[in-house]
Structure 1
Amino acid sequence: MLEGLHYQNAYVCDDLEAAIDLFRGRGLRKEPIIIPVEQDVRTADGPRHQKGRICFIWIDNLQYELIEMETDEVGLYRNCLSNGGPLRFHHVCYRIDDWADFRARVDQQEFPVAMERDLGGDALKFLYLDARNVFGHYLEYTWMPDAMWEQIKAM
């Protein structure tokens, strides 16, 4: 299942400020905003809690998401293997136009849902498919209203 607009590559790090520093002089044009994240997500094993900080860096038409986790009850970020460097590649993210159509097909494909968040209505929706056995990483899919998309692109 590879579809939608690929707009993001995401990395796990242990020190968010040090990770941001790695982008200085490499295309970073605006000082990024660090966003605290605390959320409950659905998993096959029931609801789980996550807490951490993220940062979005746009370089041309690609967003880099940097993720520093404090609490990861899902284990989704904790299981990201070290490559010996400060950034560990974790997933790519695709924007989906029609969430209902996409979501109806998720259970028909081969990759299990690792976690999902859907608050209904016009709230951001996302899920991670565990595609590590084929691609070596997770696949994230998001849906958001156009106004939210424009805000994210302006970050």
Structure 2
Amino acid sequence: MLEGLHYQNAYVCDDLEAGIDLFRGRGLKKEPIIISVDQEVMTPAGPKRQKSRICFIWIGDLQYELIESEIDEVGLYANCLSNGGPLRFHHVCFRIEDWADFRSRVDGQEFPIAMERGGTQDGDLKFLYLDARKVFGHYLEYTWMPNRTWQQIKSM
């Protein structure tokens, strides 16, 4: 299942500020904002807590997401093996236009859901991660958001 607009590559790092430093002088034009995210997500084993510090760096039309995990009850970020460097590639992200249509097809495809957060209202961000490591070596994240949220993300 590969569809939607690929707009993001994401990396796990142990030190978010050190990760950001690696982008200075390599295309980073605007100082990124660090965001704390503390949320409950659904997993095949039930609800779990994910708490992270993240930032988004745009270079051209590609967003780099850096993730410093603080609480990882899902184990989604802890299983990202070291490559010997400060940044460990974790997933690619696609923006989906029609979430209901996309979501209706997820259970019929080959990759298991690792975690999911459906918005509480139609205007909320929705996302899910598919575990595609056996085929691609990484997770696939899919997001849906209203256009106003997309514009906010693009301006970060």
Which category of TM-score, normalised to the shorter sequence, fits these structures? over 0.9
Structure 1 residue runs without a partner (length 5+): none
Matched with 2:131 is: 130
4+ residue runs over 3 A deviation? none
Q: Distance in 2 between matches of 1:122 and 1:114?
A: 23
RMSD: 0.4
Matched, 1:53 2:79: no
Deviation at 1:38, TM superposition (A): 0.2
Matched, 1:83 2:80: no
Aligned residues: 155
Give the TM-score normalised by the residue count of structure 1: 0.99
Letter in 1 for 2:117: R
Matched with 1:142 is: 143
Matched with 1:103 is: 103
Secondary structure at the aligned position of 2:94 is classed as strand
CA deviation profile, 1:105-135 (whole Å, cap 9, x unmatched) = 0000000000000123210000000000000
Structure 2 residue runs without a partner (length 5+): none
Letter in 1 for 2:76: L
Letter in 2 for 1:22: L
* Aligned-residue identity in percent: 79
Give the TM-score normalised by the residue count of structure 2: 0.99
Q: Where in structure 2 are the equivalents of 1:29-44 lying within 5 Å?
A: 29-44=29-44
Letter in 2 for 1:119: G
